[in-house]
Amino acid sequence: MSDNYRNFLALSYDELEELNLKAKQDRLNRVNADKIREERLKYLTDEKRIKAVTVLFSDLEGRLHLLDYDKKFLISSYDNLTFDGSSIRGFTAQKESDLRLGIDWSAFYWVPADVFGTGKVLVFGTVIAKDGTAYSGDLRGVLKHYSDTLYAEKGYTVNAANEIEGFLFAGTDAERRFNETGRFEFVNTGGYYHSLPLDPLRKFIDTAAEVQRAMGFQNEKDHPEVAPSQFEINYTYGEVVAAADQIQLYKLLCRQVANNMGYTASFLPKPVVGVNGSGMHTNMSITKDKTNLFWDANGQEQLSGFGWDFIDRVLTHALDVCLILNPSVNAYRRLDPHFEAPNQIKASATDRGSMIRVPIGNSKSMRVEVRSVGPDANPYLVLYSLFKTGLDGSIGSIDNLRQAQRYLPDNIYSAIDDFSGSEWIGKILGADVQSRFADLKRAAADRSPRALGTFVKGSEVQYHHEVYNQALWSQF
């Protein structure tokens, strides 16, 4: 049936941007949740051109899941949405499969019809256990609770900005076909900041940037990265839960735009040996009463003592959280010092091989940048663990902590052992989530050769948590 006969919502990019920026400002201003819910329900009721609401949530590994609810059903049943959690890897066992979805009405997005389809809007959900409590495996809910508690008890607003690199490869489903082809094909070999205005990579970046802008991301800059066919599309910082949501949307829209153009957007950390891998540099700051607590004009590198203590705690627990920041077999190829890899457990204002960097800043922009995060990490788990560690972790009695000759693991098995044996991880995640996450990572690791070797193996792509599906997993 032709869309010409359907009266479905399809707004212009300017209209989308205006609506999304208004919603973003309401979220930033912490407008009362009941008021936001009432406004959204009234909008859905009045806007006859909307047919469905897509509810998004993430599993324990960070893979994004989407459920479409008929609009009329959602309006009448938004407080009683259920789904089968046993079908989600890392969630409940089959015998206790029922989970509920709560709606975070503040995390509501109007989307371009040419990318997401006509007549749809997006909203993020929170997973709720059968007994009505927050589900421990839903790290978005954990992060939101933590952020709200910090604001209520200390007046802290925790902020994040993420620089997410990825690759654009020829053909659709290039990752899922890698175990057959054994290679990825570049669409561009121009390199850092350099590509012709209308070559495939530049057209992809331009298109994805326009979609971001329409969705209220407030873009800053975009460009080809160092490696061939590599890209980075930067946008402004946000409150921590909104920032994590935007990471998930960024990867989703990049994948969809690439697919529409006949390409694959890949966020594997190191899909091609011999060129730079992809990272997700994570910039963090904390404000109170609109004052940046990381800024001190007279501090070392103009970072406050509060900020340096934050760094020292993360450095102390670097091995504990390494698996969270680098959760795949492939991620440990990226931690290679020959390609500007941040594998050294130290802090520096200049050395990009350091796990943590202190960028140049001012009273508004002063921040701490954790560079060792892979783009395939669960953003909610990453941001929760880093902020929780930076604020509440211990500072170890390690000589010259900020410049000691210590290194992150070069293989996932070491990272799993550090994570599984960590008292700190057990404290902040709980023993159950700690165990389940380690088991998921070990299941993928055991399907790949223990030694990484000199070329990317089909198994490390095939069983990657962002690539696998039932058909691929059953091929072991």
Q: CA 219, CA 221: separation in Å to the nearest integer?
A: 6
Identify the CATH number of the domain in which residue 240 sits. Answer: 3.30.590.10
Task: Assess whether 164 and 105 both reside in one domain.
Answer: no
The phi and psi torsions of 66 (rounded to 5 degrees) equal -130, 130
Neighbours of 152 (CB within 10 A): 9
| pLDDT band at 461; cut points 50, 70, 90 | very high
Task: Assess whether 407 and 299 both reside in one domain.
Answer: yes
Q: CA 229, CA 189: separation in Å to the nearest integer?
A: 6
Task: Assess whether 249 and 365 both reside in one domain.
Answer: yes
Domain that holds residue 89: 3-132
Torsion region of 418: left, alpha or beta (phi above 0 gives left; psi -120 to 50 gives alpha): alpha
Tens-place pLDDT, residues 241-276: 999 999 999 999 999 999 999 999 999 999 999 888
Total number of domains constituting the chain: 2
Tens-place pLDDT, residues 279-296: 999 999 999 999 999 999
SS3 128: strand
Mean pLDDT of the chain: 92
Tens-place pLDDT, residues 306-331: 999 999 999 999 999 999 999 999 99
pLDDT at residue 453 greater than cutoff 80: yes
Tens-place pLDDT, residues 189-221: 876 656 777 889 999 999 999 999 999 999 887
Question: What does the angle CA 282 – CA 293 – CA 396 come to, to the nearest 5 degrees?
Answer: 70
Q: Which of residues 132, 166, 200 is at a domain's end?
A: 132
Q: CA 270, CA 258: separation in Å to the nearest integer?
A: 19
Task: Assess whether 211 and 291 both reside in one domain.
Answer: yes
Task: Assess whether 257 and 398 both reside in one domain.
Answer: yes
